[in-house]
Amino acid sequence: MNAYDALIKPGWAPPANLFGIVWSILYPIIFIAYGYVVFRVVRGEMPSALIWPIAINLVANLAFTPIQFGLNNLPLAAADVVIVLVTIVWSILAIWPYSIWVAIALVPYLVWVAIATVLQISITLMNR
């Protein structure tokens, strides 16, 4: 049993195997959406300021797994997932005027991370 399995979780927590399935669907969407924006920024077709929410989001997203499962640091993981959530909202709002389809494509990512944020905060509070 790993450390995550031993944590107290709310009754509504998704089964552990669902996370891999959802992320395997979301990561290609994120890659295409953010990749399109970065490509357009590099070509000078979108403002370079759009890189900030994308970069912060990707760093925070990639940091979550080592924080949660490597360091087993629940409060830091909760803070990290809040950053991921906030930067998705920031990304959607910043990108919308330049590419509505990209902003809309990020909505499933937003929904999943919103659920994950509530879950992580719940787990953090339940395991103090």
pTM for the whole thing? 0.95
Residue-by-residue DSSP string for 69-112: IIS--HHHHHHHHHHHHHHHHHHHHHHTTT-HHHHHHTHHHHHH
Tokens (6 digits) for 98: 């330049």
What is the rounded distance in angstroms from the CA atom of residue 102 to the CA atom of residue 32? 9
Per-residue pLDDT of the chain (128 residues; tens, 9 = 90+): 678 889 999 999 999 899 999 999 999 999 999 999 999 999 999 999 999 999 999 999 999 999 999 999 999 999 999 999 999 999 999 999 999 999 999 999 999 999 999 999 999 999 99
What is the rounded distance in angstroms from the CA atom of residue 67 to the CA atom of residue 71? 5
